[in-house]
Amino acid sequence: MKLTIEWTYKTPKGATTIFRSEPMSVEHTLMIAEDLERTGRVKTIEIMDEHDSTWMIKELKKYIKEMETEPHNIKVYFDGGFDVQTKGSGLGVAIYYEKDGKSYRLRRNAYVSSLDSNNEAEYAALHLSLVELELMDVHHQTVRFIGDSQVVINQLNGEWPAYEQNLASWADKIEGKLHSLGIIPEYELISRKQNTEADRLATQALQGTDISGEIELQS
């Protein structure tokens, strides 16, 4: 979740003006808001999220405390592979997150026989990650989705149009799931070489090897 602060500043002689911050993390927002209050020169202060909902400072403190015991700082790597000969698809997902002061990694793959292209497999892999996030009870926060598919990343970013109906349907399905979970996506395009973990999971799915596991990462 990203928040914006809008505050009315008052000088010692009574002149006022309004300032608005750039979008910031919850922790950064709380730190800035509390520091502004300590100056004694803030006439009003308003904190807003991406949905234009307003937050009180005490609500932010409660939110941060609750988030410590839930999955947060989430990064999702996804990849999909399509076998032209068998018409089968392999989906791979690696989810990195923090919870209770510890770091974890969840890996999951799946074999699907109902898709028609590599691009559709990429979309299906991203959707699989959303299913996993829902099972983890992830909601109302910003999540980074990282993949090597220019089509998926650029279409979901709104930079490329989705002319193919099946891909447009996947995009709508994903955006609907994101909205229902209250997840704000941040998409990042990387090279295939940088996406080896998710790629390997997708390949293993095509080879008939099921992967599903979660481990705590050692610092």
Residues 6+ apart with CB under 8 A from 120: 80, 82, 89, 166, 167, 170
Shared domain for 133 and 184, answered yes or no, is yes
How far apart are alpha carbons 29 and 63 in whole angstroms? 12
Task: Write the CATH number for 210.
Answer: 3.30.420.10
8 Å CB contact between 7 and 42: yes
8 Å CB contact between 119 and 151: yes
> What was the pLDDT predicted at 187?
97
Shared domain for 25 and 83, answered yes or no, is no
What the block records as the tokens of 21 is 């911050």
Shared domain for 37 and 144, answered yes or no, is no
Shared domain for 62 and 108, answered yes or no, is no
Shared domain for 157 and 113, answered yes or no, is yes
> What was the pLDDT predicted at 112?
95
Beta carbons within 10 angstroms of residue 174's beta carbon: 21
What does the CA dihedral 180, 186, 190, 196 come to, rounded to 10 degrees? -50
> What was the pLDDT predicted at 64?
79
Shared domain for 177 and 124, answered yes or no, is yes
Which residue type occupies 78?
Answer: F
> What was the pLDDT predicted at 13?
82
Shared domain for 53 and 85, answered yes or no, is no
In this prediction the pTM is: 0.80
Residues 6+ apart with CB under 8 A from 100: 68, 69
Q: Which of 200, 188, 80, 86 is nearest to 142 (CA)?
A: 188
Shared domain for 60 and 79, answered yes or no, is no
Shared domain for 37 and 130, answered yes or no, is no
Q: Which residues of the chain have pLDDT under 70?
A: none
The sheet with strand 4-10 has its strands ordered as 16-20, 4-10, 42-48, 54-55
- Which residue carries 């940088």 as its tokens? 194
Q: Which of 69, 76, 65, 71 is nearest to 98 (CA)?
A: 71
Shared domain for 187 and 105, answered yes or no, is yes
> Domain total for the chain?
2
> What was the pLDDT predicted at 117?
94
C-alpha distances out from residue 80 to 71, 115, 123, 193, 197, Å: 24, 11, 8, 14, 12
Shared domain for 199 and 133, answered yes or no, is yes
How far apart are alpha carbons 78 and 212 in whole angstroms? 14
Beta carbons within 10 angstroms of residue 208's beta carbon: 9
**Which residues constitute the domain of residue 32?**
4-67
